[in-house]
Amino acid sequence: MAYDAVLDGTPADPAPISAQPSEPASASLLWRLAGPLCGIAVGAAVVGLAQTIALPAIEGQFSPRWWPQVSGAAIILFSLAAAVRALPADAPMEELEARQPGGVGRILASLGAVAAYGALWHWLDFRIVTVLLVAGLVAISGGRGWAGLVVFPVVVTTVLWVLFSLLLRVPV
Amino acid sequence: MSAVVEGLTQLSDPVVLLCILIGALAGMLVGAFPGITATMAVALASAFTLTMEPVQGLAVLLTIYVAANFGDRVPAILVNTPGTPASIATTFDGYPLARQGKAGLALTTSAFGAAFGTFAGLLVLIFAAIPLSRVALNFGPAEIFALVVFGLTMIVSVAGSNLLKGLAAAGFGLALSTVGRDPIVGTERMTFGVLELSDGLPFIAVIIGLFGIADVLDQMLTHHAATAKPIQSFGRWMPNRTERRKMWKPMAIGSGVGAVVGAVPAAGGDIAGLTAWSVSRRSSEHPEEYGKGSLEGLTAGDTASNATLGPSVSTTLALGVPGDSVMAVLMGSLVIWGFNPGPGLFAAQPDLVYTIAGIMVIATVLTFGLSLLRMRGVTKLLELPPHYLWTVVIVFCLVGTYAVNNSTVDVLVMIVFGVVGLFMRRLGFPPGPVVLGLILGSMAEANLRRALEIGGISNVLTSPIAVGFLLVALASVALPPLLRSWKTHRAGRRHTHTVNH
């Protein structure tokens, strides 16, 4: 649910107008603070990671940790300010296109296909795995029929092969 | 005068003209595919051109350089993916224009801006190469740090409606710039033991992820077949008189910014495009349109990034210091051909400057013409059903990113930043400042630390160039809100006065 809310920008299941007013209000506050809170978490992670940087044997005027710490602190500072700014109920919010049903599934399936492509590339020829990847991505995105699932993958793979392998001599 | 005639006579060879044509076609193709940079194309072409006559080889390499800077606008406008880093600013207004059904107008305007910028930069190469290069030669750590601070003030413009989130995003970019070796002592930082990250995050993979992949993922998330409106009309192709009149000011700003940034070693079209977009926005009568499909914003960025080409060549030839990464590659070929870039080159072979300028002029005219011809075919890309377009973008980004360094780590970084970019969009964080922080972060850190360790803070404050940049940076941050506040205050007083009356 929280994942949906983050990706959507609005509650995943908008409450009907007749619902209790407190529910949408609290969801809205959570959503308004989601960005700044993520920012604070990222900033804290950067500052934490900076502490793991090894110090040189001969210390200079500035430690290698200095700049990462400054960057992390800046992220926390500005995210905190953004959180304070987002607290009022009438705080301005960015307009986002609403998430559509199946959208998250499409993304996860596409990322899965890319991961499988990366794994298979080590075992199979580039041309074979690329045809499979293109056909898979077309299918995930809603394409059907022999033109989309056979001809298009072969054409795209041929273009990639000619351009990168033959012309640019990239060892694909 | 004889140097001019001698230089231009070299171009009368039909083989040189054929080389320019081949370079133009290759360069535009290279630019149009995200992930294949002009640097990579020039590096690969160098292997083929080393056996050619120097002028013929230069014709191929320089034309690829010019043409790639035209071709990279196409994916930036049509699919929100910069073909090369130099067209990052193009995505800000080019893509919104395409989504408004003005892809034709955006492509034509971009081509005009790019051509104007290239010619303006070439004027610098021809007339001001030596003086500009002398100024750039005076830049030490303090001056470069001040220049970077000035560059960072662009965040105010790039951040969009939420400045605080923009600043936090810039902080994230600065943090990302620390990945790799420490610039002074060489300690590994945040590499997690991954050897490929020792030289820092692969910049191209990060920007392709943040812009191209994140946008495709966002479209996958929000696309609805019933509500999606495929673009049926590309609108007008040529700007009307009013629009043409509006283009002069951003073209002038872009040319000025590009000329200065291009002359500074290691600062390229990406920084120039972002700076000019920001400066143009501040001086525009309609700053609110920037980032939402402003022709002025599009023109300023594209003019500036192309205006760096001439000065960049000038710096490379006059100082022996590469103006950008393409020039670093080109220098290798020049040395093999027997040219020695540096202050002595102008004295020994003054005609070479005019040969190079001549090649770039012909390349620009040819590429500009090709840009206008091919556009109707290229914009058909927008008519592709989403499942084809998404697939093409993802697959080309994957293979293109791999091809830059033949590295699967780069591909992984691109995917990770695609997901990061998606979350940033949904959470209201603009990706532009991340790129800005990543580009400028390492330069800022290294030069600030060097400047402070050499002579403390006085090292920065006693340099007129550094102080000048810092003052301009301060003014560019402080003046807009002060002016807005003053205008509001004045309007309020007027209103009160009228009511009392």
For residue B481, give the amino acid letter: P
Measured between beta carbons, the chain B residues lying within 8 angstroms of A87 are none
The number of distinct structural domains making up chain A is 2
The answer to whether residues A83 and A108 belong to one domain is no
H or E segment at B188? strand B188-189
The answer to whether residues A151 and A131 belong to one domain is yes
Q: Flag if A134 and B452 touch (Cβ within 8 Å).
A: no
The answer to whether residues A48 and A78 belong to one domain is yes
Alpha helices in B291-429 (DSSP H): 295-307, 309-319, 325-336, 343-348, 350-378, 386-405, 408-427
Nearest Cα of chain B lies from the Cα of A142 at a distance, in angstroms, of 6
Residue A130 touches partner B, C-beta closer than 8 Å: yes
Where do we find the tokens 């640097």? B39
Residue A159 touches partner B, C-beta closer than 8 Å: no
The answer to whether residues A86 and A117 belong to one domain is no
Report if residue A18 sits inside a domain: no
Q: Flag if B162 and A82 touch (Cβ within 8 Å).
A: yes
Report if residue A123 sits inside a domain: yes
Q: Flag if B164 and A85 touch (Cβ within 8 Å).
A: yes
Report if residue A7 sits inside a domain: no
Please give the ipTM for the structure prediction. 0.84
Measured between beta carbons, the chain A residues lying within 8 angstroms of B188 are 53-54
Closest to B332 in 3D by CA, of B44, B122, B84? B44
DSSP letter string, B222-286: H--TTT---------SS--HHHHHHHHHHHHHHHHHHHHHHHSTT--HHHHHHHHHHHHHHH-S-
Residue B416 touches partner A, C-beta closer than 8 Å: no
Residue B184 touches partner A, C-beta closer than 8 Å: yes
CA dist A139 and A133 (Å) reads 10
The answer to whether residues A46 and A75 belong to one domain is yes
Residue A47 touches partner B, C-beta closer than 8 Å: no
CA dist A125 and A103 (Å) reads 31
CB contacts under 8 A, B 285-344 vs A, are none
The answer for residues whose C-beta is within 8 angstroms of residue B32's C-beta and 6 or more apart is B71, B72, B74, B75, B83, B378
Measured between beta carbons, the chain A residues lying within 8 angstroms of B419 are 111
The answer to whether residues A142 and A160 belong to one domain is yes
CA distance readout (Å), B184 to B141, B442, B449: 13, 11, 8
The range of the structural domain enclosing residue A142 comes to 101-171
Query: DSSP character for A161?
Result: I
The answer to whether residues A129 and A156 belong to one domain is yes
Report if residue A45 sits inside a domain: yes
Residue B491 touches partner A, C-beta closer than 8 Å: no
Report if residue A77 sits inside a domain: yes
The answer to whether residues A81 and A115 belong to one domain is no
The answer to whether residues A74 and A134 belong to one domain is no
Joined together, the tokens standing for residue B329 give 């590659």
For residue B387, give the amino acid letter: H
Nearest residue, CB atoms, A100 vs list B164, B223, B385: B223
Report if residue A139 sits inside a domain: yes
Report if residue A164 sits inside a domain: yes
Q: Flag if B398 and A117 touch (Cβ within 8 Å).
A: yes
CA dist A129 and B397 (Å) reads 16
Q: Which residues pair with B181 in a beta bridge?
A: B188
Joined together, the tokens standing for residue B192 give 């997690």
pLDDT, tens digit only, all 501 positions of chain B: 577 788 788 888 899 999 999 999 888 877 777 656 677 678 767 767 777 888 999 999 999 999 988 888 888 888 787 877 788 889 899 989 988 888 888 989 999 999 999 999 998 888 876 666 566 667 788 887 887 787 677 666 566 567 889 889 999 999 999 999 998 888 899 998 888 899 889 887 888 888 888 988 998 998 766 554 444 556 788 888 888 888 999 999 999 999 888 877 666 788 889 889 988 988 888 888 898 889 999 999 999 999 999 888 887 777 666 667 678 778 778 888 888 776 667 667 778 888 998 999 999 999 998 888 756 666 565 567 888 888 988 998 898 888 878 888 999 999 999 999 999 989 989 887 888 788 778 888 888 888 888 878 888 888 888 898 888 878 767 776 677 677 777 777 777 777 676
Joined together, the tokens standing for residue B141 give 């750590």
H or E segment at A54? none
Radius of gyration of chain B (CA): 23
Nearest residue, CB atoms, B162 vs list A70, A94, A104: A94
CA dist B84 and A61 (Å) reads 38
CA dist A32 and A129 (Å) reads 43
For residue B330, give the amino acid letter: L
- Burial zone of B487 (CB within 10 Å; 0-12 exposed, 13-18 middle, 19+ buried): exposed
CA dist B15 and B265 (Å) reads 32
CA dist A43 and A83 (Å) reads 14
Residue that is last in its domain, among A74, A94, A114: A94
Residue A90 touches partner B, C-beta closer than 8 Å: no
Half-sphere exposure of B237 (CA within 13 A, CB side): 8
Q: Flag if B449 and A172 touch (Cβ within 8 Å).
A: no
Q: Flag if A110 and B392 touch (Cβ within 8 Å).
A: no
Residue B100 touches partner A, C-beta closer than 8 Å: no
The answer to whether residues A113 and A131 belong to one domain is yes
Report if residue A89 sits inside a domain: yes
Residue B454 touches partner A, C-beta closer than 8 Å: no
The answer to whether residues A125 and A164 belong to one domain is yes
